[in-house]
Amino acid sequence: MKHEPLVLGIETSCDETAIGIVRGRTLLANVIASSVEEHARFGGVVPEIASRAHLEAILPTLLQALSDANISMKDLDAVSVTAGPGLVGALLVGVSSASALALALDKPLYGVNHLAAHVSVDLLTHNKELKPTIALLVSGGHSSLLQVNDITSSIVKLGETMDDAAGEAFDKIARVMGLGFPGGPAIDRQAVDGNPAAIDFPRGLTQSSDWLTRPFDFSFSGLKTAVARYLESTPDYAKSDVAASFQEAIVDVLLLKAVRACKESGIDSLVIAGGVGANSRLRALAAQRCARAEIELAIPSPALCTDNGAMVAALGSLLLSAGARPSQVGLEADSSLPVEVLSLS
């Protein structure tokens, strides 16, 4: 019987202190300690507060994950950690902790890319063979279209946001509407009772010239401005209609470009990953459009869309199984690590 590696993953790129443990592609533990409530009164993540929260949470989160998986640290085959991109102070907590564990246990260390890990987590939900796929990665800090030829060795960036990421736009409009932080879930809840066609908000980078020059890039700053101006000029606006129409404008553009990327690349598989992947309208509309276009759709469960340690452990397990070169103990965090760099050697 083929040995399936037991890998522990540490994620501290933003405001979640997360530890995941996988055996091969089987999830054994996924523990998350979030500091989101500490940031809510500021309307966004405060890097120094996030770093301090990670320092306080890292050990109890680790012990809980080991307990949930019913293993001891000596059972591990490798340690994986998010090395970037993210908030540098937050990343350093995870990278330092992972280096210490790997050194003490004399186990290989994999410093992995946060964005690639988001795509990898889908592999924990099924046993399908690994094959090329288009990945739509949407979160508070990133909105990208990727061509994943091999999750352990080759990712090509097709396009990315030119300004605000989709999740960032959700946060900003939710703040203007007084819906609180984080904005994505708040907008999603508010939109349930709204009409997505009530207000015709703009779809950025979807004019004919845009499809010729930047077909897979995104821009949400114009949409954000249009919504803000609508709110200023319409004192008695219906929150649910604004939320639904704003959400529809974002989701529509994301899927227009994702489906087109599949068609032009000849790849009939789409993975949606990242925190915005938990959005109910994105999930529903993606299912409709992919079925119509005969594209195989994969979206992790909402709990695995947001930042988590399981995704980091999953990518570490795949890299270990593929014979990838481990990282050096004491590796440095890279807050702007390009998505094409899957792991640091």
266 and 245, same domain (yes or no): yes
Q: Is 257 strand, coil or helix?
A: helix
How many domains does one find in the chain?
2
Q: Would you state the torsion angle of the CA atoms of residues 287, 291, 297, 300, taken in this order, to the nearest 10 degrees?
A: 20
Q: Would you state the torsion angle of the CA atoms of residues 313, 319, 321, 322, taken in this order, to the nearest 10 degrees?
A: 160
pTM, rounded to two decimals: 0.93
Which phi-psi region, left, alpha or beta, contains residue 292 (left: φ > 0; alpha: ψ -120 to 50)? alpha
Assigned token pair, 236? 């008695």
Nearest to 147 by CA among 302, 298, 25, 266: 266
165 and 311, same domain (yes or no): no
254 and 142, same domain (yes or no): yes
Interacting residues of 337 by C-beta distance below 8 A, sequence separation 6+: 83, 84, 85, 113, 114, 344
- What pLDDT is attached to residue 127? 75
Tell me whether residue 48 is in a domain.
yes
Greater confidence (126 vs 251) lies with 251
159 and 223, same domain (yes or no): yes
pLDDT score of 1 more than 50: no
Residue 23: phi and psi, rounded to 5, are -115, 105
Number of Cα atoms under 13 Å in the Cβ half of residue 297: 20
- pLDDT tens per residue across span 29-78: 999 998 877 777 777 788 888 899 999 999 999 999 999 999 999 999 99
Choose the final residue of a domain: 266, 282, 299: 299
User: SS3 breakdown of the chain: % helix, strand, coil, rounded to 5?
Assistant: 45, 20, 35
Tell me whether residue 285 is in a domain.
yes
- Residue type at 218 in one-letter notation: F
Tell me whether residue 322 is in a domain.
yes
Nearest to 27 by CA among 68, 64, 59: 68
229 and 211, same domain (yes or no): yes
Cα–Cα–Cα angle for 50, 52, 58, nearest 5°? 95
CATH of the domain at 72: 3.30.420.40
- pLDDT tens per residue across span 326-338: 999 989 999 999 9
146 and 262, same domain (yes or no): yes
249 and 323, same domain (yes or no): no
- What pLDDT is attached to residue 2? 62
Domain with 244, as residue range(s), is 132-299
206 and 317, same domain (yes or no): no
Average pLDDT in the 284-292 region? 98
Average pLDDT in the 248-263 region? 98
Nearest to 312 by CA among 4, 3, 29, 2: 29
333 and 271, same domain (yes or no): no
232 and 136, same domain (yes or no): yes
The rounded distance, in Å, linking the Cα atoms of 95 and 88 is 10
Tell me whether residue 1 is in a domain.
no
Q: How confident is the model at residue 129 (pLDDT cuts 50, 70, 90)?
A: confident
